[in-house]
Amino acid sequence: MGKQTRAIVQGITGNQGSFHTRLMLDYGTKIAAGVTPGKGGTTSVGVPVFDTVASALERTDANASIIFVPAPFAKEAGMEAIDAGLSPVVIITEMIPARDSMILIEYARTRGAAIIGPNTPGIITVGEAKLGIMPGDVFKPGRVGLASRSGTLTYEIAASLTHEGIGQSTCLGIGGDPFTGLNFVDVLKLFRDDPGTDTVVLIGEIGGSAEEDAAAYIRDTKYPKRVAAYVAGRAAPPGKRMGHAGAIITGTEGTADAKMKSLRDAGVLVAEVPSELPRLLLQQVSPLQ
């Protein structure tokens, strides 16, 4: 992701699709084409629109996709992008049936494509390009890589880092759904190999075991970069979905406290409240391990 990214916007003619295409273009993102079935031959926000991804690629050159299509069509839109060899495929769409996401993620895995999301704010290479719906102005270039399960909370934390003078390299949402293409472990691997990133910030929440898995990975691989984290949902009761499809404590599994403990035990700097994150990073300048 960066200056070399040229994206297709699937669902470009919808409200969200056209609105955010404009904002992505404003941020400097290269948008090669849009795709909306039945709207081929038109343009949206100045971008040429095609009926299918394959026909778009006959006329333009792209290597990534961002998807805004409604949930019932998102699985096939993702497959279409993957069949065309696009990667990453950023799926903004929320409320996709879990079974559809499960199958799509397996489809991507077996074909070597990276899916970001679903139900993600997207990904931003700060100062270069964004494939997503995040407000560009809360970020500033720097060396912190940030991955999150939520949208607005990411902007909140990015803004507070920016405010304290801590810039970011790449920020992305892994998505708020039970099944996501990239998880925290995948993202940690990417940041490990990214020379532009010194520190990784993980913003987790209740439900599932993505944070525990990340903690295990950090511990087991003696992760070479500094990691800090915040986990939302300490005040959430069990058995209730807190907005995100994936944010639910089932039985005694997936509590914020358990996640925070796992991360701390793995040497991660864990903030009690979001505003503590920049303070932790400013205090602890050098990598932990």
Partner 1 sequence: MKLFEYEAKSIAQNLGINTPKGAIASTSEEARDIHKRIGGEAVIKAQVLVAGRGKAGGIKFASKPDETRDRANEILSMTIKGEKVKKVLVEQKASAKKELFASIVLDRANRCQTVLASDQGGIDIEDVARQTPEKVLRHRLDPVFGMRSYDARLIALKLGYEGIQQSTFSDFLSNLYRLSVIYDAELVESNPVIESKDGRFVAADLRVIVDDNSLFRHPEFQERSKEISGEVTALESKARDNGLAFVELDGDIGIIGNGAGLVMATLDLVKQYGGKPANFCDVGGGANAEHVATALQLIQGAEKVRAVFVNILAGITRCDEVAKGIVDVKKVMGLKKPLVIRMVGTNQEEGRRILKSAGLTAMDKMDEAARLAVSKVGA
User: Smallest distance, Å, CB 176 to partner 1?
Assistant: 6
> Residues 41 to 80: which contact partner 1 by CB under 8 A?
41, 51-55, 71-73, 76-77, 79-80
Judged by CB under 8 A, which of 22, 63, 143, 153 binds partner 1?
153
**Shortest approach of partner 1 to residue 6 CB, angstroms?**
20
Which residues within the stretch 182-201 sit at the binding site for partner 1 (CB under 8 A)?
none
Find the part of the chain contacting partner 1 (CB under 8 A) among 59-67, 90-98, 122-130, 281-289. Answer: 90-98
244 catalytic per annotation: yes
Alpha-helix residue ranges (DSSP H) falling in the chain: 15-27, 53-59, 71-83, 98-111, 152-163, 184-192, 210-220, 256-265, 276-283
Count the residues of the shown chain that bind partner 1, applying the rule CB under 8 A: 77
The continuous run of DSSP H or E covering 209 comes out as none
User: How many alpha carbons lie under 13 Å from residue 197 in its C-beta half-sphere?
Assistant: 25
User: How far apart are CB 4 and partner 1 at their closest, in Å?
Assistant: 26
282 sits near partner 1 (criterion: CB under 8 A)? no
For the sheet containing 269-271, what is the strand order?
129-132, 122-125, 168-173, 141-148, 199-205, 226-232, 269-271
Residue 195 Cβ vs partner 1, minimum distance, rounded to whole Å: 29
d(CA 201, CA 268): 9
Region for residue 53 given its phi and psi (left: phi exceeds 0; alpha: psi -120 to 50; beta: otherwise): alpha
**90 touches partner 1 by CB under 8 A:** no
Nearer to partner 1, 102 or 288 (CB): 102
Residue placing its CB nearer to partner 1 in the complex, 232 or 266 = 232
Write down the catalytic residue from 130, 225, 226, 244: 244
Cα(270)–Cα(258) distance, rounded to whole angstroms? 12
Angle between helices 152-163 and 276-283 (to 10 degrees): 40
Residue 272 in contact with partner 1, rule: CB under 8 A: yes
Token duo for residue 22:
């404009």
Q: Does 38 bind partner 1 (CB under 8 A)?
A: yes
Active-site amino acid positions: 244
